[in-house]
Amino acid sequence: MLDSSALRVQVLAYGLKIRDVMTTKIFAVSRNCTMGDVQTIMKNNGISGVPVVDERRVVGIISMHDILIALENSRLQELVTKHMTTDVKTLSEELPLSFAISAFSNHPFRRFPVVNQANELVGIITPRNINLALIRELSRQLDEIEEELAPSAVPKANSVFHRAYRLTRYDFEHAGMASAELKRELKKRGVPPKIIRRAAIVSYELEINIVAHSHGGTLTLFIDDHRMRITAIDFGPGIPDLDAAMREGFSTANEWIRSQGFGAGMGLPNAKRVSDEFEIQSGVEMGTMVKAIVFLNRNR
């Protein structure tokens, strides 16, 4: 799982560390608290998992599920130490965000306690933290792009084209707009039709993929003299089996999507086929990130 983390760090997580994303408002309990105490904390704060600490070291964790079991067996008055999961996986705050993303894909847990170098509890990370951080980071980038574009309203020929598009779930009416703009831009730059076609196909497949299969996301186009780079990011639900998704004929599409002419399970493999470089990362319940490059002066 670590082999691809470098790319994740670089692109998906934008160099963010777990520390930048985690929540530091921690609700933890000590060994001498009861299950009833934990239940009250969960109820009052709207949280579903509480670490048990001893001198700031995490020694266990109580989930909502543990509370329900205790409640069923009328054991809420018992100490947390009798009920907690002691095999707790923690994440170090120094790690890149990509580690947290893989941890969520590889484990069924909905939250991880975050610890510092002294192994003391300093935060909690959930998929929601990650989503929010990525959305924040994306809008920050969008602002930057807009600032970049602002000074010269009319971009010079063959200057850098950099634009981001927001994509909404099931909005088949507008899906494809980014690709249409991409096509016009490449045409204006005198890129050979065969290369335009490949670039437009990658972009279109990725647009449709977000609209048909995700909760929504963004597509960012970057064009300079040498390459067209697309970064497609969505906010979930993520792809449980990437190998299967990259196989032709695999699709999770429903009949409605099929009736729109999509969902033949060809999108991702096709996008990869026509790209010169293609990278995909996905975390279940977090989202999927695809980076594709088509070189503009290199025929196949």
Partner 1 sequence: MKTSELEKLGFECLQNQFEDVEIAGGYTSDLLSDVMANLAEHQVLITIQAHKNTVAVASLADAAAIVFCHGRKATADVVSAAAQEGIALFSSPDNQYNTTCRVAKFLGA
Partner 2 sequence: MILKQMVDKLEAIPVYVPENWEEIQVGSVFASDLISDILVSEGEEQLLLTSLTTPQVVRTAAIVGAAAVIIVHRKQIPPGLAGSARIEEIPLFYSSTSKYDACVRLGKMEDAP
Query: Judged by CB under 8 A, does residue 264 bind partner 1?
Result: yes
- Shortest Å, Cβ 212 to partner 2: 10
Report the alpha-carbon distance of residue 117 to residue 56 in Å, rounded.
12
- The beta-strand segments (E) located in the chain are 29-30, 49-54, 57-63, 91-92, 112-115, 121-125, 161-167, 217-223, 227-234, 277-283, 287-295
Give the DSSP per-residue string, 26-48.
Answer: ---EETT-BHHHHHHHHHHHT-S
Give the count of residues interacting with partner 1 (CB under 8 A).
6
Which residue lies nearer to partner 2 by CB, 21 or 200? 200
Where does residue 239 fall: left (phi above 0), alpha (psi -120 to 50 degrees), or beta otherwise?
Answer: beta
Q: Which one of partner 1, partner 2, none is in contact with 255 (Cβ closer than 5 to 8 A by kind)?
A: partner 1
With CB under 5 to 8 Å by kind, the binding choice for 81 among partner 2, partner 1, none is none
Residue 240 C-beta: closest distance to partner 2, Å: 21
3-state helix, strand, coil in the chain (%, to 5): 40, 25, 35
- In the DSSP assignment, the letter for residue 264 is S
User: Closest separation between CB of residue 157 and partner 2, Å?
Assistant: 22
For 291, the token pair is 């980076």
* 208 in contact with partner 2 (CB under 8 A): yes
Q: Is 172 one of the binding residues for partner 2 (CB under 8 A)?
A: yes
- Asked if 255 is part of the footprint of partner 1 (rule: CB under 8 A), the reply reads yes
Residue 147's binding partner among partner 2, partner 1, none (Cβ under 5 to 8 angstroms by kind) is none
Tell me if 258 contacts partner 1 by CB under 8 A. yes
Of 112, 165, 204, 235, the residue at the interface with partner 2 (CB under 8 A) is 204
Asked if 175 interacts with partner 2 (CB under 8 A), we say yes
201 binds partner 2 (CB under 8 A): yes
Distance (Å, whole) CA 159 – CA 153: 12
User: How far is 52 from 60, CA to CA, in rounded Å?
Assistant: 5
Of 7 and 246, the one with the shorter C-beta distance to partner 1 is 246
* Number of residues near partner 2 (by CB under 8 A): 24
**Three-state secondary-structure class, residue 100:** helix
Of 8 and 183, CB closest to partner 2? 183
String of DSSP letters for 118-144: T-BEEEEE-HHHHHHHHHHHHHHHHHH
Cα dihedral across residues 18, 47, 169, 135: positive or negative: negative
Question: For binding to partner 2 (CB under 8 A), which residues are involved?
Answer: 172-173, 175-176, 179-180, 183, 193, 197, 200-201, 204-205, 208, 260-267, 270, 273
Question: For binding to partner 1 (CB under 8 A), which residues are involved?
Answer: 249, 255, 258-259, 261, 264
